Homo-oligomer: A and B are copies of this chain.
Amino acid sequence: MFTNAFLHLEIAEFLETQINNGTYKAEEKLPSENDLCKAFNTNHHIVRQAISRLANCGLITSRQGKGSYVNARLDTIPYPLSSRTSFTENLKKIGLAPDGKLLHWINREPTAQEARQLKLMADENVYELQIIRFVDQTPASFTITLIAEKNVPGFPNYLPEFHSLYQLLDKYYHIRPNRKQSIIQAVLPQARDAELLDIPESMPIMQIESVTEFPHGWPFEYQISRIRSDLYQYVIHF
């Protein structure tokens, strides 16, 4: 067997093997950090590096005062990306219960970069919406979306009933935006992202920056979404 150059990686690899071959099954508790210290004849700090790695990979979740538990690996949920993609529709289609919560909104001036994306004049304001989305109560993504004020008159009146952005847009404005371009990257969460998404500081997430447009081709929305990659994967059909 391949043994790793570093003790902490060796421990991580060992535990990972045990999880994959079923020695520790889903929802089961791993040995405590103290026990692992004794087993590998090392200390707290090194064992925690190993544990952290597994947590960052999404294999386990540590709970203070309780222990580290193997995650139920209900295979990551496929999230199809296409010109017509709506978070709510996508997930309802496969029998899940999506929900969106509007954390915060403001009306403000766009930055130069934002104005360019939305093809706005400098004096045209935008609504910034900060949205956190859940699937079956579990946080799934955190999104900041920008929409030109002129395109959604009376928007603040409708925001109190926010659950799904695209349902709101359809209901009050009969707008069904099309995704025009998306840019995808793997990143680490900001402190706030990690808190909102309830993940460790070093668990990789996907960042997707998109522009949607009206059917006639004018830009409608500019958004940056950060989505948990331990739960979701983007699927693209060509």
| Residue positions of A touching B, CB distance < 8 A | 4, 9, 13, 45, 53, 56-57, 76, 78, 81-83, 178-188, 191, 201-202, 204-206, 229, 233-238
Contacts and interface: CB of A to CB of B under 8 A. Distances in A.
Contact of A186 (B78, B182, B204): B204
19 contacts: A4-B191, A56-B188, A57-B187, A76-B185, A180-B237, A180-B238, A181-B235, A181-B236, A181-B237, A182-B235, A184-B206, A184-B233, A185-B206, A185-B229, A186-B204, A186-B206, A187-B229, A204-B205, A236-B236
Given A4-B191, A204-B204, A234 B181 contact: no
Contacts of A179: 238
A187 B230 CA distance: 8
* Best-buried of A13, A56, A184 by chain B (most CB within 10 Å): A184
Given A4-B191, A191-B9, A204-B188, A183 B235 contact: yes
* Best-buried of A45, A76, A81 by chain B (most CB within 10 Å): A81
B234 A184 contact: yes
* Best-buried of A4, A9, A201 by chain B (most CB within 10 Å): A201
B9 A238 contact: no
Contact of A178 (B9, B182, B201, B238): B238
Given A83-B238, A181-B238, A238-B181, A188 B57 contact: yes
